Chain A
Amino acid sequence: QVTLKESGPALVKPTQTLTLTCSFSGFSLSTSGMRVSWIRQPPGKAPEWLARIDWDDDKFYSTSLKTRLTISKDTSKNQVVLTMTNMDPVDTATYYCARVHKHDYFYYFDFWGQGTLVTVSS
């Protein structure tokens, strides 16, 4: 079955760079059509999509955050890594990775990790 799990620091200081790892099983990012996204959710607020990486190494970023984000994959380890630079307290959120499924022309997040809470504070 498909599972995803996020890992990374629970606390980062302002201006630091955040690095998060999504470890997944049940599918491979070397398989045509596979895609993984990162999504975050500040406490009490709606989810916000951050980035997506595809099996062919295409990468897409949120227009408002693209200057701070980098997404990459390690196919041999079944991992996707997200880095976010210049962290600020407003970036405090639960960060999720999710598989992006395409059915005909429609994309949706069909499997999610449990999320990891990242707090930005000095």
Chain B
Amino acid sequence: DIQMTQSPSSLSASVGDRVTITCRASQSISIYLNWYQQKVGKAPNLLIYAASSLQSGVPSRFSGSGSGTDFTLTISSLQPEDFATYYCQQSYSTPPMYTFGQGTKLEIK
């Protein structure tokens, strides 16, 4: 199975900061990479699909990049509502064996 590794595991930042989260796949997954945001007690919410495509309704301060094994999620200017846990997830495997990264918890500094 493809393993997904995120870094850092946790991150402290301030409102207005630019933040980057990294996700690495154990093998090349082209751009079959999605990003989700999860707030406490809620289901994950899709932010980015196909590595860089913004899901409808998601603010433009969120962006994704990368291909192959290395990917990044960037928040250009942190807002109070962005403090949450972020997960990457690959959809490359056939037959499907979707795997998630271990998560990055974004906290207020």
Binding site for B on A (CB under 8 A): 37, 45-49, 52, 60, 62-64, 96, 98, 103-110, 112-115
Chain B residue contacts of A105, Cβ below 8 A: 32
Q: Which residues of A contact B101 (CB under 8 A)?
A: 46
Tell me the complex Cα distance, A115–B38, Å. Answer: 13
Given the known inter-chain contacts A49-B99, A62-B97, please indicate yes or no for A113 contacting B43, CB distance below 8 A: yes
Prevailing SS type, chain A contact patch:
strand
Contact of B87 among A46, A60, A63, A103 (CB under 8 A): A46
Tell me whether B102 and A106 are in contact (CB under 8 A): no
A46-B100, A46-B102 are known contacts. Are A109 and B32 too (CB-CB below 8 A)?
A: no
Assembly CA distance A22 to B19 (angstroms): 36
Q: Is the CB of B50 within 8 A of A112?
A: no
Q: Contact check: which of A37, A48, A62, A108 meets B34 at CB < 8 Å?
A: A108
Residues of B within 8 A of A (CB): 1, 31-32, 34, 36, 42-46, 49-50, 53, 55, 87, 89, 91, 95-103
Q: Which residue of B1, B50, B96, B99 contacts A60 across the interface (Cβ within 8 Å)?
A: B96
Q: B87–A47 contact, CB under 8 A?
A: yes
Q: In the assembled complex, which residues on chain B have CB atoms less than 8 Å from the CB atom of A115?
A: 43
Closest to B85 in A: A46
CA of A59 to CA of B52, assembled, Å = 29
Tell me whether A110 and B43 are in contact in the complex, defined as CB-CB below 8 angstroms, given that A48-B100, A49-B100, A62-B97 are known contacts: no
| Bound: A45/B6 CA distance, A | 13
